[in-house]
Amino acid sequence: MTAEQFADRHIGPDPDDERRMLETVGYDSVDELMDAAIPEVIRWHGTLDLPAPASEREAIAELRALAARNTVAVSMIGLGYHGTHTPAVIRRNVLESPAWYTAYTPYQPEISQGRLEALLNFQSMVSELTALPVANASMLDEGTAAAEAMTLARRAGRSKSPVYVVDADTLPQTIAVITSRAEPLGIDVRVLDLGVDELPAEFFGLHLQYPGASGAVRDHAGLVEAAHAVGALVTVAADLLALTLLRPPGEIGVDIAAGTTQRFGVPMGFGGPHAGYLAVRAGLERMLPGRLVGVSRDADGNPAYRLALQTREQHIRREKATSNICTAQVLLAVMAGMYAVYHGPDGLRAIARRTHDMAARLAAGLRAVDGVEVVHDAFFDTVLARVPGRAEAVVADAAGRGVNLRLVDGDHVGISCDETTTAAHLRKVWDAFGVPAFDGAGGDALPDDLRRSSDFLTHPVFRSHHSETAMLRYLRRLSDFDYALDRGMIPLGSCTMKLNATTEMEAITWPEFAHLHPFAPESQTAGYRELIGQLEAWLAEVTGYDAVSVQPNAGSQGELAGLLAIRAYHRDRGEGHRDVCLIPSSAHGTNAASAVMAGMRVVVVACDADGNVDLVDLDAKIDKHRNALAAIMVTYPSTHGVYETGIAQLCAKVHDAGGQVYVDGANLNALVGFAKPGKFGADVSHLNLHKTFCIPHGGGGPGVGPVAVRAHLAPFLPGDPSGAHVDSRPAISAARYGSAGILPIPWAYLRMMGAEGLTRATGVAVLAANYVAARLRNHFPVLYAGNKGLVAHECILDLRPLTKATGVSVDDVAKRLIDYGFHAPTMSFPVAGTLMVEPTESEDLAELDRFCDAMIAIRAEIDKVGSGEWPAGDNPLANAPHTAAMVSGDEWSHPYPRSVGAYPGTVDRMAKYWPPVRRIDGAYGDRNLVCSCPSPEAFES
């Protein structure tokens, strides 16, 4: 017996399965299949230079050793990252529960009611704390939320001025992200000290921080009025915990609130992931970027949740898009929302009060000693101390006592309290400042006229789940509503819903990874930096690029980072006029949106009848824009799931015209070990670690979208947003290493798979897609194929002819799959009226067959509709999905038996997945927009 290999656990089909699949596809071996499928011009024949695979035990031991090189200090740095106690019931039953973390974005709402309700709680929480009527279902972090607020203000405001005013007391990393986003859009950011400086005569927007980065709590009402007087919109980046005690921004007419929900139970994770938030006043809801959960109704008229206003999402709007956000931070938003559910309004107020009391006591102690001045009288959790010439010494002394403080400048130290602060921590801080024994009281540093008087979190959901028993059952109830990878396969094309192995997940909750502040001193983060360095090196090896940055928090952000690198490169060479980005018509919506955000003009290139980039049209577009050509952005294998043979030619044509080649690496699962974008002609790619490299999708985030470049673009990769390493590089996320807290996941995957395992995974992923295509081809036409009729790692099933003949839509098939116990494949992307299936290497043959059998059975059902045996409007497809309530109802008037509705095909009667609602009417909810928790009466039948 050979030693146990993780790859054998990760890859679903065993050698027997593989043989049977190869037989069906018509090849003798996976190698032979791959030789036939992948064009030789891009094929790479080496062996990946990666360490020999570690076993699960060995990988955990290595991660333990890396973790041991991090130091968990008491963090009082603040700046938007705070210590927090994750309630254990939430940690174990959300963050560590595959029912939550392996779910997909809730595009199929009937199987996603649990996470949709959790997100609605999150939206209600943000909306009520900020006192603004509509909040979205999360942003990537506070910095990017603030940047999105800026562009929203520009679209929505009356002012034509290009000036955006940012108060100097804003988090430095937020200023960095805002500035980076503003530059390509021609927005003129002015950072002003609004305590001293006058507002300019004209500006389109104003950004304020509340409380300020220095801790100061200021009354912003006058500034809001002044901004509105010149037609500008105002964004307040507000601390949600502070808002339990302080007057919320919505009560002084603020237009937009943005920020983070990190301190609501989400560990700092050395920078992320956390859920950012964005809330707007009435009238701006239809311009809000990101996803919005709303209430609608199902076929029986019962309330049901679904994503609202889908048509304004980036994947539809393409080059007219105003934001590129796609993957957000759903899992973390669920955690933060549940933190509010568990503590309730009184609990949150008590946490805020205790935090404030600690800060007030801290300040009183500091005031008691000569040579220390407390700068602000009004503060919530952060005290700014003035110690002329001594700041560095004080910070060093505190570090020696195991407490990290914020070094503001040579004379000032910032100290932030949070819910984890204890009396012992205060004592250490006082010792660092030379405060003798102090046991005085603190008093209250909240200004009287800025106290919150309004109630919040009034909905029963925030008042009913405060015992652990109630909370546990609420979490279980919601997750039971949902279909995630822990129930069965999720064959979503372009999403790569593969195994998220438990061993990969294990390290993320260890304190040495979870509890580090992103601005902690380097001496405390050696383990993290080594892990990140190794991961970046391995990703560079896998992709053939020279340098990698893990800073982008999603694929969309990697795209922006990559395009900004291209832009900076052209400018650096005196070719700043190059601003045209060619994008094939089949591209993912984020591509065009990112190009617009990078200040580029999008020119669409047609696809030919085979779905490939039309090289004739490409020539024409290159000719037309030769002097202005900045880049082409293509997905490889194509979004159609095909290894296009023209790729090398395409790269050469664009390079000859002086352009750069961006390969969207979302489909890297079809290339790893067989081809390297950095070697077949591309200059830059982003990868989706939440696809190919096993970060779970979390119901719509977190994600990590590293950007990988060849050497000539390396100087233009993202920089350090904290300003600790000043240079001209852009800030793509608020933290230098983005969502560092989840990087142990791809690290563990790469470490345990090794070169051979990764290569085998790619081969099996391609085999599985071709197996599905082969089995289904006679029932549904497979739309596109490449060499020898083979697809890559996914295949598109064309339903349009059937829809035309029978009226059965792609939606009907997707909903009917729920009755058969499946999550639908990707619907109508990249081609309307089709289903795109990506099985991944992790599903075994039994599961692949269960899916193919279901699809074949559905095809037979469609035929019964076509032949008239079942009427067009009343058949198992049109009525899908069937709920338990429906099929057990006292009335049954449909022309097929209840059992056909409930247990079609070979559905396991003991393990049946029951959707909680019937088909949801999305349009109804868009006409009657409700985006916070509905009253319980709405659910009375």
Ligand X SMILES: *Cc1c(COP(=O)(O)O)cnc(C)c1O
Instruction: Give every CB contact of residue 889 below 8 A, 6+ residues apart in sequence.
Output: none
**H or E element at residue 619:** helix 615-625
Contact between 479 and 719 (Cβ < 8 Å) = no
CB of 374 to ligand X, least distance (A): 44
Q: What radius of gyration do the chain's Cα atoms show?
A: 28
Q: Using CB under 6 A, list all residues that contact ligand X.
A: 326-327, 494, 554-556, 588, 590, 635, 639, 664, 666, 688, 703, 705
First CA to last CA distance, the chain: 61
Find all residues with CB under 8 Å of 456, minimum gap 6, and list them.
128, 129, 131, 243, 244, 248, 345
**Angle subtended at Cα 759 by Cα 755 and Cα 761, rounded to the nearest 5 degrees:** 120
Q: Give the separation between CA 720 and CA 271, rounded to whole angstroms.
A: 12
Q: Which residues contact 5 (CB under 8 A, 6 or more apart)?
A: 53, 55, 757
Q: Which is nearer to ligand X, 163 or 492 (CB)?
A: 492
Give me the least distance between CB of 930 and ligand X, in Å please. Answer: 26
Nearer to ligand X, 179 or 553 (CB): 553
Helix (H) or strand (E) holding 549: strand 547-549
- Shortest distance, CB of residue 131 to ligand X, whole angstroms? 30
d(Cα 529, Cα 523) in Å, to the nearest integer?
A: 10
In the complex, what is the shortest distance from the CB of residue 558 to ligand X, in angstroms, rounded to a whole number?
8
Give the residue among 686, 434, 675 at the shortest CA–CA distance from 554.
Answer: 686
Is residue 561 within 8 Å of 718, Cβ to Cβ?
A: yes
Nearer to ligand X, 634 or 717 (CB): 634
> Cβ 539 to ligand X, closest distance in Å?
15
Rounded to a whole number of angstroms, the minimum distance from the CB of residue 325 to ligand X is 7
Cβ proximity to ligand X: between 74 and 331 the closer is 331
CB nearer to ligand X: pick between 249 and 611: 611
Residue 560 or 931 having the CB closest to ligand X:
560
**Closest distance of CB 556 from ligand X, Å:** 3
Distance between CA 168 and CA 192 in Å, rounded? 5
Number of residues that this document lists for the chain: 941
**Partners of residue 280 on adjacent β-strands:** 134, 256
- In this structure, are residues 334 and 122 in contact, taking their beta carbons and an 8 Å threshold? yes
Select 660 or 688, whichever has its Cβ closest to ligand X: 688
**How does 172-182 read in b/e, with b if 16+ C-beta sit within 10 Å?**
bbbbbbbbbbb
DSSP state of 807: -
- Least separation in angstroms between residue 633's CB and ligand X is 9
Q: Residue 686 CB, nearest distance to ligand X (Å)?
A: 8
Q: Closer to ligand X at the Cβ: 209 or 639?
A: 639
Residue with tokens 């009343």: 874
We find the least distance from the C-beta atom of residue 49 to ligand X, in angstroms, to be 27
How many other C-beta atoms lie within 10 A of the C-beta of residue 679?
14
CA distances from 939 to 133, 137, 475, 617, 933 (A): 22, 22, 19, 54, 11
List, in sequence order, every beta strand (DSSP E) within 168-275: 188-192, 205-210, 233-238, 256-260
Angle at 412 between CA 269 and CA 190, to 5 degrees: 75
Summary count for the chain: helices (H), strands (E): 29, 26
Cβ of residue 662: shortest distance to ligand X, in angstroms?
Answer: 11
H/E run at residue 386: strand 382-386
The residue among 534, 474, 217 whose CA lies nearest residue 526 is: 534
Q: What are phi and psi of 777, to 5 degrees?
A: -55, -40
- CB nearer to ligand X: give 494 or 509: 494
Q: What distance lies between CA 338 and its chain's CA centroid?
A: 18
Query: Least distance from C-beta 632 to ligand X, angstroms?
Result: 15
Find the shortest distance in angstroms from Cβ 147 to ligand X.
Answer: 15
> Which is closer to ligand X, CB of 517 or CB of 588?
588
The two three-digit tokens of residue 319, written as one number: 């080059």
Q: Which is nearer to ligand X, 213 or 554 (CB)?
A: 554
Closest distance of CB 566 from ligand X, Å: 17
Q: Can you state the angle between helices 526-543 and 744-776, rounded to 10 degrees?
A: 30
